[in-house]
Amino acid sequence: MKEHHIPGCAVAVSQKGKVIYKKGFGYRDMITKRPVTPETIFGVASVTKSFTALSIMKLEEEGHLSVDDPVVQHLPEFKLVGVEDISTIKIHHLLTHTTGLAPMFRREELRKLKHHIAYLADKEYERLGEPGEYFSYCNDTFLLLGAIIEKYTGKLYRRYVTESILNPLGMYRSTLSIDELGKYENVSIPYDYNKKTLQLEEKPWPKLGNYEIGGGIRSTVLDLLEYGQVYINGGKGLLSEEKVKKMWENPFKVRENTYYGFALQVTPNYANGTLIEHGGGQPGVSSNFGFIPEQKLVVSVLCNVSNVPVDEIWLAAVNTALGLPMDQKRTTEPVYEISEERLSQFLGAYDSSEGGKAVIFLENGLPMLEVNEETFALRASNENTLVIESNGKPLTFYTTGNDKAWGLLLGFRVLTRKRSWVPGT
């Protein structure tokens, strides 16, 4: 917390349905010094996505749809510029972020899903490849799932999730409403750390608009443990075990030993089990939630500050519960001697319409990454991958023949090469 300027954090762990650890650290409000407790409400950001995916699986079980259906079968007005056969994009492509679209410019002022569908139909965007070819976060196509949910339930997305998931699980300190949030006690203040002033700055809760479908839930670590029981306890009456397991059993391969299912990241063969998780980030929010079904273990971690490695806190808690070394990693990237010629193909600036930026450059002949106003030393782990030395996280580069890399998978987003970049700018 000191190293990453985290004002407040909560951690909770359950095994076989029993809470075995719950604790708050630091402050939910830096001015009043009110402490974080396990009952403190935080944003969960993209952990919300699995609630959306779970809702889609409920609709599949009820016979309204199949995840193999074309999206246009259920949303006839769905179009994308430049896609001649729109039926090639299936519901499972939305769930796994494999539509072939790069991250898009956010339109948080749009509050009706029909307006977002119209935006997608008119917007020029970057195409990475065919559906199912590349994995990259695209919040704008993911929120189409909300439109499908609203069509078949006749309810607003937030009302359906509240009535069909939150309330049945007793998640009474969880909400999608900012207005409702203001009526609760023990709510965290969102912060962002300003790297220029070296100060924590209070941030307003983001209103999100249609993006609430991928990031709008605010919750507590204890409520998230209740949510986790759905996944380790055969659906817990919300849907069948078969449908809930479908969310992670045939995931898309993102990179070596990292896979992505229906709004869930999957790391197979971890300590005789499967790590299944999802993180999230927004202004004033860093989150990670997940479970190991074989061990019936559920862990949730929430922090009230942006851009911190909350997934490392989460994994440390998992490791501790499993009796493993606290600093054990999900996977260890090998050391690879990369040629200067190959390395030169990676150098340059990459960005996305959503706002992410990264620069790969050489310093004293060694590869470096500049992102979020920070610089990290890199090393190679194979001919397509560089690894951040300090945390072992990989960066995957996409190339065509002997040309310079056209894309970079940084975290869960593909950033594409900035054509006009000049070294030193």
Question: pLDDT tens, 186-219?
Answer: 999 999 999 899 999 999 999 999 999 999 999 9
Same domain, 262 and 381: no
Task: Report strand pairing: 366-371 vs 357-363.
Answer: antiparallel
Domain contains 422: no
Mean pLDDT of the chain: 94
Handedness of CA 319, 323, 329, 330 (dihedral sign): negative
pTM of the full structure: 0.95
Who contacts 240 (Cβ-Cβ below 8 Å, separation ≥6)? 61, 234
CATH code for position 271: 3.40.710.10
pLDDT at 373: 84
CA distance 197 to 184: 32
Choose one of 288, 312, 331: the last residue of a domain. Answer: 331
Residues 299 and 378 in one domain: no
Residue 425 pLDDT class (50, 70, 90 cuts): very low
Q: Say how far apart CA 270 and CA 266 lie, in whole Å.
A: 10
Same structural domain for residues 274 and 397?
Answer: no
Do both 199 and 299 map to the same domain? yes
| Domain count along the chain | 2
The pairing of beta strand 18-29 with beta strand 258-260: unpaired
Question: Residue 418 pLDDT more than 90?
Answer: no
Q: Which of 139, 145, 168 is CA-nearest to residue 60?
A: 145
Same domain, 3 and 149: yes
Mark whether 228 and 358 lie in a shared domain: no
pLDDT in tens, 8-24: 999 999 999 999 999 99
Q: Could you tell me if 149 and 202 lie in one domain?
A: yes
Query: Are 186 and 78 within one domain?
Result: yes
pLDDT given at position 423? 47
275 in Cβ contact with 318 (< 8 Å)? yes
Res 409 pLDDT > 90: yes
252, β-bridge pairs: 260
Task: Give 363's contacts (C-beta < 8 A, 6+ positions apart).
Answer: none
423 in any annotated domain: no
Six token digits for residue 257: 């030993």
In a domain, 28, yes or no: yes
- Domain C-terminal end among 296, 311, 331: 331
| Same-domain status, 350 and 242 | no
Flag whether pLDDT at 268 surpasses 60: yes
290 and 352 share one domain: no
Mean pLDDT for the stretch of residues 251-278: 95
The boundaries of the domain holding residue 46 are 1-331
Query: Domain end: 331, 352, 377, which one?
Result: 331
Same structural domain, 228 and 287: yes
**% pLDDT > 90, the chain:** 88
Q: Are 95 and 205 members of one domain?
A: yes
